[in-house]
Structure 1
Amino acid sequence: RELARVQQNASHAKRRSAGWKKLASSATDAASERSVWRGAVTTQRDVKQQQQQQQG
């Protein structure tokens, strides 16, 4: 029974590593998207701050 569990864990680990590779590639895509999005957000925030300063 122990052996079967070890084999199950091994196949699970293989599947998990494959999943991790997929996750990693999608994570890099998400990171680049996020940096672009963050850049857009920061520019919006800068614009808002400048408008507030002009009003003040």
Structure 2
Amino acid sequence: MVIKNQQFLALNIDLILIIKSLNLVLPAFTALCILVFMDMLVVVINYSEGVNQTA
């Protein structure tokens, strides 16, 4: 029973560490996604403008 409790505690610590690291990574990842999305949007807008000019 004691061993199980220790394993559960270790698992809890692992989960806490994972959640803490996610709290650090998630904002950066979200910012990166937004930047990539903005870049794609700019590319699409430029492409559509180019198509409009050639037509």
What TM-score do you get using the length of structure 2 for normalisation?
Answer: 0.82
Structure 1 residue 7, shift from structure 2 partner: 2.6
What TM-score do you get using the length of structure 1 for normalisation?
Answer: 0.81
Confirm or deny that 1:16 pairs with 2:11: yes
Aligned length: 51
2:32 corresponds to which of 29, 37, 41: 37
Gaps of 5+ in 2: none
For the aligned residue pairs, the C-alpha RMSD in angstroms reads 1.0
Identity of aligned residues (%): 6
Q: Distance in 2 between matches of 1:37 and 1:9?
A: 41
